[in-house]
Amino acid sequence: MGNANIELDQLHSGDETEKLALAAVEAIKRLITERHALRGGLAAKERELARLHERFTLVRESYQKLANELVTQLQLFERLEREEARSTGSAELHWLRDEQQKPPGSPF
């Protein structure tokens, strides 16, 4: 009977080992599945990040162009304003000179 108990223990131990091995295989399969899912999610996030970076670059370039156009327009406005002030100032100076050359009391 001693040998029978040893054989039963070995058989029982073999069954447990097989169950543990099968459980380990299932755990490994789950880990592999989760890893693939995480890699897929990561790849999708990387694509989204690249797309957002591209859009951000386009928006930034658009704002830079807009700012440059605004500066150009302001510079043009400033130049035209200075030219207008010079021409108006010159006209006022001519008017003052003409006033000074008129004899007092003369309508012309």
What does each of the 108 residues of the chain score in pLDDT, given as a tens digit?
Answer: 556 555 556 656 778 889 999 999 999 999 999 999 999 999 999 999 999 999 999 999 999 999 999 999 999 999 999 888 888 766 555 555 565 565 666 655
φ, ψ dihedrals at 107, nearest 5°: -75, -20
Q: Give me the count of residues in the chain.
A: 108
Please report the pLDDT score of residue 62 as a whole number.
98
Please report the sign of the dihedral spanned by the C-alpha atoms of residue 101, residue 103, residue 104, residue 106. Answer: negative
- The span from the CA of 37 to the CA of 58, in Å, is 32
Radius of gyration of the chain (CA): 46
pTM for this predicted structure: 0.52
Question: CA separation (Å) from 78 to 46, 72, 88, 92?
Answer: 47, 10, 15, 21
